[in-house]
Chain A
């Protein structure tokens, strides 16, 4: 494949497992996706579906004893899986940066915001303290932080959640990374701040040329932000494809159920996804067949023996469900539809 068409991040069959129950428990199984230059890709799923584990595995940040990461994740052609710790460390923070769900706890409490951003800059570039601070202040300003020079001298607990998340994004962008992994960057924030932060992330493509892997459990956020979407369920891929296609013609009943649970555009937005009846299985008790089976309205005998393979539906869409192959695909979503056929 020519270099200019090579995706920025190309993940193939990523598997993460941890020891337990006398064997290895798979947390994430065979996840594949890619992120192109200056693209925002959504990674969606309910709590516990393995979104964070996937992101952390890419960054080499899982440090539980005995963890196994298999498969391949090529970042600009470099293999991340199995990369020596030292080489990975120079990529981390410089080329791939990450922002986390909870800005309240993501900064070290005993240092000022500015100190912590300076630290990251100086870890990757030979700059004087003064030059680093100048860049920090400029970044904070770009992220819409009022009075950036003074804010840089404040401690994390002295800032509001929204400001802290802006500072977090400023820190993540401080070394001009080409890929930003944002793990539920807006979950802990209230609705107006949430919209501002999403705007900020959307703008990064143009202002910084960064691609974003946006992790969220909120289909509404995906619709507003991501060009392509990957739906995870219980550590396995349920469906992936262009966001517009997925929203118009979901091929997997789980995607359809997620879409049905998008809260109304007006009115208060619930903190977590409104319930699809039941809960996803934990990694330990994942069923042999389709993991969504126990909660699926269309479940039948062919779903049960083995997990359905991810199969192309058309136009870049993939789904791990037996329905399309059996000639009974879900109807397109012209009107809002419930779970019952």
Chain B
């Protein structure tokens, strides 16, 4: 157990180091990325430019600058943004993370439930109109860009039909913290949840159906039927349970990348101040400290989520458990 944890920790550090060096190098290799001019302001005199450069340490060697930035990010935690009048970066992330987590968890709940129901139904009614309709719906879900879907829902619920009884409950764009107003929190998030979930429902239900259909030809499914079990039980307790092993590993990775900032488009469209939107703003401003912090955050999350997936995998599949 301990060696496994240490190994995982070592891997994490290695990943973080690699990713941060890459971000750092790409940033300084980008033409026009020199932050001095932006911090000093337009039309700054050469003296001020020089002062800023010295103050921020842009005149030092790149490895030194890198080390300083890492120290400020992870140890003293007082890394300041290059834009926004030097706002501290770590608190920004701490504020944004819960918003993203709420968005992604809600969406994940929706997409997991919906895709399990759709995938199982489609497999149970394979080659009938039920199957074809569900899988077509899934395909449509996959093909709709989330950005477009978000814009259209906004158009409908915020302006065009906002005054009808159907959508008058929809609050304006933005986030309401759960601690302030649980009802408002729910109303603010429910549409983003669904919009974010749509594509994943499509992917997951199709993957699950394919898995279940493949499993239906397995010997153990035939054994289960020969035992005299009902078709529902065969499908759920034997088929679905076995298919969950793949399902969970797929889920872990998608979930992690979304929490790490991959829900960027949804956050931008719905004005949710989450990690994705923070990354988006930092990228448009070429604000290295924030980019660096969000990327690190996201990398940590992916690694942690991977570890969790591995553990769940062990719980779900006895064969893997023994292979360790």
Which residues in A have some Cβ–Cβ distance to B below 8 Å? 59, 61, 63, 65, 89-94, 97-98, 100, 102, 105-111, 119-120, 123-124, 155, 157-158, 168, 171
| CB neighbours of B219 from chain A (8 A) | 100, 102, 105-106
Whether B319 lies near A155 (C-beta < 8 A) is yes
Whether B127 lies near A65 (C-beta < 8 A) is yes
Bound complex: CA A171 to CA B228 (Å):
12
* Closest residue on chain B to residue A112 by CB atoms: B318
Whether B318 lies near A109 (C-beta < 8 A) is yes
Whether A92 lies near B227 (C-beta < 8 A) is yes
| CB neighbours of B318 from chain A (8 A) | 109-110, 155, 157-158
- B114 at the A interface (CB under 8 A): no
Whether A89 lies near B228 (C-beta < 8 A) is yes
> Closest Cβ of chain B: how far from A213's Cβ, in Å?
13
> Closest Cβ of chain B: how far from A102's Cβ, in Å?
6
| CB neighbours of B223 from chain A (8 A) | 100, 106-108, 168
Bound complex: CA A65 to CA B217 (Å):
13
A-contact bits for B227-261, CB 8 A (1 contact / 0 none) = 11110010001100110010000000000000000
The prevalent SS among residues of B at the interface is helix
Whether A119 lies near B225 (C-beta < 8 A) is no
| CB neighbours of B218 from chain A (8 A) | 105
Whether B228 lies near A94 (C-beta < 8 A) is yes
> Closest Cβ of chain A: how far from B74's Cβ, in Å?
41
> Closest Cβ of chain B: how far from A9's Cβ, in Å?
16
Whether B227 lies near A93 (C-beta < 8 A) is yes
| CB neighbours of A94 from chain B (8 A) | 228
A-contact bits for B303-324, CB 8 A (1 contact / 0 none) = 0000000000000111100100
- B226 at the A interface (CB under 8 A): yes
* Closest residue on chain B to residue A104 by CB atoms: B219
| CB neighbours of B237 from chain A (8 A) | 119
Whether A158 lies near B322 (C-beta < 8 A) is yes
Whether B220 lies near A107 (C-beta < 8 A) is yes
Whether A110 lies near B316 (C-beta < 8 A) is yes
| CB neighbours of A100 from chain B (8 A) | 219, 222-223, 226
- B203 at the A interface (CB under 8 A): no
Bound complex: CA A307 to CA B242 (Å):
46
Other A-B pairs, 13, CB within 8 Å; known A92-B228, A110-B316: A59-B226, A61-B225, A63-B216, A90-B228, A93-B229, A97-B226, A107-B223, A108-B223, A108-B238, A108-B242, A120-B227, A120-B228, A123-B227
> Closest Cβ of chain A: how far from B150's Cβ, in Å?
39
For the complex of A and B, the 3 pairs showing the least CB-CB separation, nearest first, are A93-B228, A92-B228, A105-B219
